[in-house]
Chain A
Amino acid sequence: MACSTTYLWRGETTWFCCGPAWGPCGSAGGGACGGCRSDSNHAAWPNASAACWDVTRPDLCGENMPRRGCGFVLRVRHQCTNAVVCPAIRDCGPRTQSFCGELTCCNGVCRSNRILDLTPKAFSAIGSLSAGKLPVWIYN
């Protein structure tokens, strides 16, 4: 059941732009799944497919998150404030392997590695876009 409370993974989330957009935008073509939009609650997952894994290589950082494909709805909780959003996976990302070992700590409790990317709508539901990245817990 999607957007439930069964633990899936935890780490850092950043945000990205996708779909029709102004300015430089990472996934202007609609993302690896197609249909990704900045003004919808969408997300990118490092293990959306085998081809995706080859780009993100989270295993190089010790993160072996399970496969969750296009359309799967996650539940994402901000570790510090408990704000929650339920985005659907519509793209492959982030590039976990480029930032191995990066930490985001909240009052002494730390999350490491970038394991999720959210659209501006989804990210702004749980934090400020100018923060760039947040520590989160992710549920199925």
Chain B
Amino acid sequence: MNPPIDRRRFLASAAVSGATIVGASALGALDPAAAFADPTPSLDPAIDTAAFAEGRVTQIKGSALEVAGSSGDQYILQITNGTSIWKVHPTTIDAIEVGDGLYARGVDMPDGTIAPDAVWVNIVNLHCTISAIGRDRIQLDHNNNALVGNVLTGTTTASYLGGAQTPDLSGLKIGQAVQVLGAWRPADDSVDIVTLWAGH
């Protein structure tokens, strides 16, 4: 197995000289009505039989995560090279701690474990209103709780009515409705804000 830097160099040169998909602009837009005409949209059979796990990490043994579901189910997730792990940003199993919450999508294995394709650790997506704005935090009113949102320089972005995500947070307003995608911090119940979609 090549060391990471060499492998990235190899992938980069392969990717930059690889097949290109050209956008539609020169050739006319995709016809949405055609989607109606196709009654059986192409469906990836692997996704149809996808396994799903939800809960909190109780043990980490090597590359296996033991997870206690919120309704009492127990899961064992076998992390592989093909598993993506999200915890604020793409990371590895070393970033996962006991007590973290997670959602995972993957495939059931014959031995009862799950081989996840994707794991999202502590991810939350909350509809809130902004009640106060500070230098490194935003106070949020979530339906059921006053929530502290941590602003991470270099990571936190805002999207205004569907515009591109930007590090410019100066358009956020007191009283504004926002959708907060972030990572919950079990230690103090705050949320590290990854993206704020700003509404009205």
Contacts and interface: CB of A to CB of B under 8 A. Distances in A.
Asked if the two chains touch in their complex, CB atoms less than 8 Å apart, one says yes
Contact of B191 (A24, A100, A112, A121): A24
Contacts, number: 143
B55 A22 contact: yes
Interface residues of A, number: 50
Given A26-B127, A98-B200, A130-B120, A108 B29 contact: yes
Given A5-B39, A24-B126, A98-B127, A107 B30 contact: yes
A47 interface: no
A84 B40 CA distance: 10
A53 to B, nearest CB: 17
B112 interface: no
Interface in B20-55: 23-25, 29-30, 32, 35-36, 39-44, 47, 50, 52-55
A103 interface: yes
B23 to A, nearest CB: 7
Contact of A24 (B147, B177, B181): B147
Interface residues of B, number: 56
A82 interface: yes
B44 A124 contact: no
Contact of A20 (B52, B70, B103, B184): B70
Contacts of A109: 29-30, 32
B199 A39 contact: no
Given A14-B179, A22-B101, A99-B200, A104 B29 contact: no
A23 B195 contact: no
A28 interface: yes
B56 A22 contact: yes
Contacts of B200: 97-100
A24 B179 contact: no
A5 B35 CA distance: 11
A102 B176 CA distance: 14
9 contacts: A16-B127, A25-B124, A39-B52, A83-B44, A98-B177, A102-B162, A109-B30, A121-B52, A130-B86
Interface of A: 5, 7, 14-17, 19-26, 28, 37-39, 77, 79, 82-84, 93-95, 97-105, 107-109, 112, 120-121, 124-126, 128-130, 132-133, 137
